[in-house]
Chain A
């Protein structure tokens, strides 16, 4: 390394001075080439500091490094900007093809931290925003000073962010206790993730066992052994950990000790053959203890004595009691609001899931209402819609346009498929619902395999347009992705469309008539066969739309329909058939319930699903015809 540096210095001497805008930087680079090439987050910090200290060229180099625009050409660092390649030290153009450096994100974080102070006043607002992002990942006292100097900002949003960041850094790094407390009190009640991220570490505690109250420590609370907060076993384990109590003899240790002391087929006078009995083992061990062959095991009396001789504390890691007091108060103030916001967020998630189930189930509910048949291939219509959207996207590159084309096309394709299915299969099985179920199941597995043969089993990409990416966030707790909002709107649209068709059009009137009494409707001149076909087409078409929606936020595979079909059945059954409000109620209940159960047990999504289905089975016992049962003669069929 030193030799390298010497050579670098020699080279620097040889070079014309005009080329050497920054000899210090040149030396640093030359001396640390291997580390620049293979940096590690743990060790790169001094190097970054060294480079930063060399002046503007050094900072430019760091910026390029962090942006992955730095390369090496013939042992010299070069900055690549599009097609321009310039030497990082001299700024002279370089013709050699550089080998690009790819520092990992940990290293880039370190570099960006070093650039924060300067970037806070950068004329480019994006740089200033990036500097604030970087500060949010952790700042120090020095950066706090820099931030305070740069609080003025022409951009009001950034100015507000800077002010907030200043408060947060004050809480963490201001040497003055009063200033920290003031900052905490000022922000108390805030539910921002960043504020909570600052507050929680202040309240972190460590357990401590000591005979006397520890002097100078910031005690959070004292615990009584045997209470709920500190069960007796936990207290004993704590004593053992701090070396205040000898660890109890485990069964494995006892066994090992006995095995080591077998003499003439017996241990301590107890025959080996009888040692399958735990009591015999205890006797043997006691005998060995008495003979002094093994160390005496910890006894219950010792444990009790140790418990009585010591007191148990939780100690704040933060030494300043005033700060922890203020933090605790602030946390309590935020708790109620936080709970409410979490509830709202959960509600949004539930609403989103409900709208997806609703879209997936309307078609099923309609066909069931009119024809009393369950279409097992409904899930495959969902899949067909998703694949249609995928195919459209491969043809039309513009995502917004492709979505605009895909929605009606998916409707048309699946509606057509529905009509074909009706003409070829379902109408021939009129009044035989169980046979229809089986026949449509046959269609379902045939379609699924067909999709696999055409599109392959790999998931296909279906990407939302840019304006639907990202999310709508109220604050750090309440947020929902835009695509889910769009699906919600779509569900509302279809609800409205559906209500319009049913209540305001001739078709709707006829559908309602057939639903209520097919025989009477037929005698009034309505062709039930045509109505059934139309509703089947409509129901299938909506399934296609649901497919596009699901494909946008999840995966497009041949099994996508299977994922939703059972939930769709449940929605229909729980809601009650023949009434769109029933479907809506069913979807809301199932969507809401699954989210609530999931939030009780965030570690296990499978359990949540199991409980949901169990609930539905029980629910059906009490309302066998669903939440909104069908009334009138049709209900008897």
Chain B
């Protein structure tokens, strides 16, 4: 094995990172906060969110494209990450408001009174009066940041351990991951779960303690953070799959039994990749929801995870930049077509309204991509490079 540097062996990583940097700088220079204002704040938020989705797609590609597990529950980790950071955002912001109000009273408030008032503000809407146990750490940013990684990671670890141990694989495993995310979503939909049920956590775009910073500026900050996270984890993922570890992982995808016979701890490898991907997805979620402003359990219904898989499939699975391309292209196209901006097509006797027909077109395009372009959009790059990425 030659010792060429990792980056040189993988020119695609360099291209992606450079492209990301150019994109971020360009958006910053065109934003309302730091530039000409040609890109409105709402667009900056859309772009920032798209970067987070791309990161989730990279994680999905690790699990599906490289490890061969079609996980239909990835968005559970994404939303859990959002919920964990959302708890702090909501609690701390409300605490600020409540403390300011209580300070006007004649007598300083006790810690209990402060907490009761915060609880009433957050949970009064959904008719609860006590702070649920799951909110015990909500006052601390550090703890909640740890939970962003720990909760989805632990869930993936336990679920993966149970599933891989009993050799559940293939379609069975896909269905099981779908069941997991559905169970979680249904549980969160209940008011009694302590996460405000269908209302979810809202007002997440206002950062506690940063009231003086306007949304135009905040949106750019989040764009930077999202771009940085995408760059970091993209490089990490690329490094991981390029070495020996990556070879074993791909071998597991292609023939699990043989790898096991060769003496590799297959379950261990699977568990590491699955858990790591869950944690990357959670980071993406934690960056996504403060930009979206609200999170509710509908975000982790099985359909969302299937869409994630579809993005990866359309972009081209088994190569990380394919996942990024798929997520960016499809999610932006979706938002353009459903935004009512796309011009209607006037056929004789019928007007094709994209709001009505976009889903049909999208659905059929999955079918066409799977049938005729299994390498996805990224397959186009093979035409330019002789070797391609033999994923």
Contact = CB atoms under 8 A, between A and B. Distances in A.
A503 interface: no
A439 B367 contact: yes
A433 B371 CA distance: 13
Given A441-B306, A449-B360, A624 B108 contact: no
B221 interface: no
Contacts of B190: 604, 606-607, 610
A340 interface: no
A116 to B, nearest CB: 43
Contact of A442 (B189, B356, B370): B370
Given A438-B366, A613-B182, A429 B371 contact: yes
Contacts of A620: 163, 166, 168, 172, 176
Contacts of A566: 178-179, 182, 302
A623 to B, nearest CB: 9
Interface stretch (A99-107, A221-229, A276-284): A276-284
B105 A259 contact: yes
A624 B186 contact: no
A443 interface: yes
Contacts of A393: none
Contact of B363 (A435, A442, A614): A442
Contact of A425 (B159, B162, B362, B371): B371
B167 A624 contact: yes
B112 interface: yes
Interface centre among B168, B313, B366 (most CB of A within 10 A): B366
Scoring B70, B109, B172, B189 by chain A CB atoms within 10 A of each residue's CB, the highest score goes to: B172
A439 B192 contact: no
Nearest to A613: B183
A258 to B, nearest CB: 6
A621 interface: yes
B170 interface: yes
B367 A453 contact: no
Interface in B280-339: 302, 306, 309-310, 313
Question: B interface, by DSSP: helix, strand, loop or mixed?
Answer: helix
A569 B178 contact: yes
A453 B357 contact: yes
B183 A442 contact: no
A16 to B, nearest CB: 68
A452 B363 CA distance: 14
A278 B107 contact: no
A437 B174 contact: yes
Given A446-B359, A604-B192, A617 B171 contact: no
B363 A446 contact: yes
Interface string A442-467: 11111111101100000000000000
A259 B111 CA distance: 17
B208 interface: no
Interface in B93-151: 105-113
Interface in A616-631: 616-618, 620-622, 624
B175, B309, B356, B374: most-surrounded residue (chain A CB, <10 A): B175
Contacts of B174: 374, 434, 437
Contacts of A633: none
Most central of A372, A442, A609 by chain B CB within 10 Å:
A442
A379 to B, nearest CB: 12
B242 interface: no
A443 B370 contact: no
A609 B186 contact: yes
A550 B166 CA distance: 35
Contacts of B109: 276
Interface string B155-195: 00001001101111011101110111011001101101000
A272 B108 contact: yes
Contacts of A272: 106-108
Given A278-B112, A620-B166, A573 B176 contact: yes
A129 interface: no
A443 B368 CA distance: 10
Contacts of A604: 190, 192
B275 to A, nearest CB: 17
B107 A255 contact: yes
A448 B175 contact: no
Nearest to A272: B107
Contact of A617 (B111, B183, B187, B361): B183
Contacts of B163: 620-621
Contact of A434 (B70, B107, B364): B70
Contacts of B162: 617-618, 621
B141 to A, nearest CB: 23
Interface residues of A, number: 56
A278 B112 CA distance: 9
A273 interface: yes
A603 to B, nearest CB: 10
A445 B362 contact: yes
A333 interface: no
B42 interface: no
B111 to A, nearest CB: 7
A275 interface: yes
Contacts of A607: 187, 190, 192
Interface in A247-276: 251, 255, 258-259, 262, 267, 272-273, 275-276
Contact of A452 (B64, B356, B364): B356
Contacts of B105: 259
A570 interface: yes
B256 to A, nearest CB: 13
Contact of B166 (A276, A425, A442, A624): A624
Contacts of B374: 435
B80 to A, nearest CB: 15
A42 interface: no
B360 A624 contact: no
Contacts of B108: 272-273, 275-276
Contacts of A276: 108-111
A428 interface: yes
Given A606-B189, A620-B168, A624-B167, A438 B359 contact: no
Nearest to A565: B302
Given A276-B111, A617-B176, A443 B171 contact: no
A450 B174 CA distance: 26
B107 A433 contact: no
B109 to A, nearest CB: 6
A613 B357 contact: no
Nearest to B185: A610
Given A446-B360, A610-B187, A616-B179, A372 B171 contact: yes
Contacts of B70: 434, 437-438
Q: Please indicate which of the listed interface residues A372, A434, A437 has the most CB atoms of chain B within 10 Å of its own CB.
A: A434
Contacts of A621: 162-163, 165-166
Nearest to B362: A445
A276 B102 CA distance: 11
Contacts of A372: 171
Contacts of B183: 610, 613-614, 617
Given A275-B110, A444-B363, A445-B359, 16 more contacts: A258-B107, A259-B105, A438-B306, A438-B309, A438-B310, A439-B370, A441-B310, A443-B363, A446-B364, A569-B175, A569-B179, A610-B183, A610-B186, A610-B187, A614-B183, A617-B179
Interface of B: 64, 70, 105-113, 159, 162-163, 165-168, 170-172, 174-176, 178-180, 182-183, 186-187, 189-190, 192, 302, 306, 309-310, 313, 356-357, 359-367, 370-371, 374
8 contacts: A275-B107, A276-B108, A428-B371, A441-B310, A443-B367, A569-B179, A620-B163, A620-B172
Please list the 6 inter-chain residue pairs (A to B) with the smallest Cβ-Cβ separation, ordered nearest first. Answer: A442-B366, A446-B363, A449-B359, A613-B183, A276-B108, A445-B363
Interface of A: 251, 255, 258-259, 262, 267, 272-273, 275-278, 281, 368, 372-374, 425, 428-429, 433-435, 437-439, 441-450, 452-453, 566, 569-570, 573, 604, 606-607, 609-610, 613-614, 616-618, 620-622, 624
